[in-house]
Amino acid sequence: MNDSLKRVLITGGAGYVGSVLVPHLLDRGYHVTVYDILWYGADHLPQDNPNLRVIEGDIRDTARLAREFPKTDVVLHLACISNDPSFELDPKLSESINYTCFEPMVIAAKQAGVKRFVYCSSSSVYGVSDQPEVKEDHPLLPVSDYNKYKGMCEPLLFKHQAPGFTCVTIRPATVCGYGPRTRLDLSVNILTNLAVNNGKITVFGGKQLRPNLHIKDMVDAYTLMIEAPAEKIAGETFNIGYQNLSIARIAEIVRDIVREEFPGRPEVAIETTESNDPRSYHINSDKIKRALGFEAKRTIEDAVRDLCHAFKAGKLPDSLTDDRYFNVRTMKVIKAA
């Protein structure tokens, strides 16, 4: 750990990725501040750790957030309305969170002396592409407002790149696997939940290619963004993914792993129906391997197995019905605004 980058503020740090990332950074000796609106609570975070501060706050309140920046070396910006259905629930709300407040936050961080700003964009900014390998210079062709605003923030960040203020963007694949605040509205996790608890998987479309990333590899990538030399990441954008598989193939993997983990159960049925979601792309993650030696190492099979173990251990109760596992359902219940 670089002692000059020891104090990390994570916007949205009480979410799915944060629930695994925060304990990991604490274990490595970082002082972590989670700044989060806490729509999904914070009981899953290790709040008894003296090096963790959890602040309930809205990133749209730039003045409130800026008060934390003088005590911060690195900002990891995860907070957002984080999928298409959630975004469409209230487009104006989503635009205000995912876009409007972004550049004021970056400016406030720079003015306060923050040394590094890591922005979590999304590989979904590529939209639909028939390119066999989608690299970072591929045109951004968003098919939804969520994808569009994710992409529009990237140049706003790089406007402020300067010596002493290192700016880097990552475009992660769809995250999968178990975390203390698991989301069950992401492709691999959805299919595993249905296979284990419903005995049947419905595949929408099936031919679309989707890049995936185990949540622990996502955490390793964020840690690397904190620890990498500034000259290797300043002003750069990195794809971060691992397996690029069709939804139909993912369903087959889920079925096979559930068969292994729950022997004696009836075979999981796979049904296919039409989809109105055309997103299909095959991302290439060679750049981050060349620049930083990073390569994801955990598979979709690992993620499915981890989820199966969590179901067996009773860590995901009422997984088909409890709103807390589904972002859009939670937003409706709490009337997010």
Per-residue pLDDT, 279: 67
DSSP letter, residue 126: G
Residue whose token pair is 């963007």: 169
Per-residue pLDDT, 224: 98
Per-residue pLDDT, 132: 82
Per-residue pLDDT, 88: 83
- CA 260 centroid distance within chain: 28
Higher pLDDT, 180 or 146: 180
Average pLDDT over residues 89-98: 90
Higher pLDDT, 103 or 128: 103
What is the domain count for the chain?
1
Residue whose token pair is 């997103």: 279
- CA 173 centroid distance within chain: 8
Q: How far is the CA of 222 from the CAs of 75, 150, 159, 182, 247, in angstroms?
A: 11, 18, 22, 18, 26
Which of 111, 226, 100, 230 lies closest to 153, judged by CA?
A: 100
Per-residue pLDDT, 69: 98
In terms of residue numbers, what domain contains 289? 3-334
Residues with Cβ within 8 Å of 25's Cβ and at least 6 positions away in sequence, in order, are 8, 32, 223, 226
Higher pLDDT, 335 or 330: 330
Beta strands in the chain (DSSP E): 7-11, 31-36, 52-56, 74-77, 116-120, 166-172, 174-176, 200-204, 209-214, 236-240, 244-246, 269-273
Average pLDDT over residues 222-248: 96
Between strands 74-77 and 52-56, the pairing is unpaired
Residue 332's pLDDT band (cuts 50, 70, 90): confident
pLDDT in tens, 143-179: 888 889 999 999 999 999 999 999 999 999 999 999 9
> Would you say residue 220 has pLDDT above 70?
yes
Per-residue pLDDT, 333: 87
Name the least confident of 42-46, 93-97, 224-228.
93-97
Which of 283, 255, 252, 282 lies closest to 267, judged by CA?
A: 255
Average pLDDT over residues 104-125: 97
What percent of the chain has a predicted confidence (pLDDT) above 70? Answer: 99
Residue 337's pLDDT band (cuts 50, 70, 90): low
Q: What is the CATH number of the domain that holds 290?
A: 3.40.50.720
Helix 215-227, helix 16-27: angle, nearest 10? 50
What type of residue sits at position 304? V
Per-residue pLDDT, 148: 92
Residue whose token pair is 């129906």: 273
Which of 27, 30, 29 lies closest to 10, judged by CA?
A: 30
Distance CA 87, CA 95 (A): 8
> Would you say residue 77 has pLDDT above 90?
yes
Q: How far is the CA of 192 from the CAs of 133, 148, 188, 320, in angstroms?
A: 27, 29, 6, 11
Per-residue pLDDT, 83: 76
pLDDT in tens, 254-294: 999 999 999 999 999 999 988 777 667 789 999 999 999 99
Per-residue pLDDT, 141: 86
Residues with Cβ within 8 Å of 34's Cβ and at least 6 positions away in sequence, in order, are 9, 10, 13, 14, 18, 22, 42, 45, 52, 53, 54, 55
DSSP letters spanning 148-164: HHHHHHHHHHHTT-BTT
> Would you say residue 1 has pLDDT above 80?
no
Which of 20, 21, 19 lies closest to 8, judged by CA?
A: 21
> Would you say residue 47 has pLDDT above 90?
yes
Per-residue pLDDT, 209: 81
Per-residue pLDDT, 207: 84
> Would you say residue 109 has pLDDT above 80?
yes
Which of 40, 85, 58, 24 lies closest to 218, judged by CA?
A: 24
Single pTM value for the model: 0.96
Which of 33, 31, 35 lies closest to 6, judged by CA?
A: 31
Residue whose token pair is 């407040």: 101
> Would you say residue 200 has pLDDT above 80?
yes
- As a whole number of Å, the CA-based R_g of the chain is 19
How many of the other CB atoms lie within 10 Å of CB of 293? 9
Higher pLDDT, 50 or 1: 50
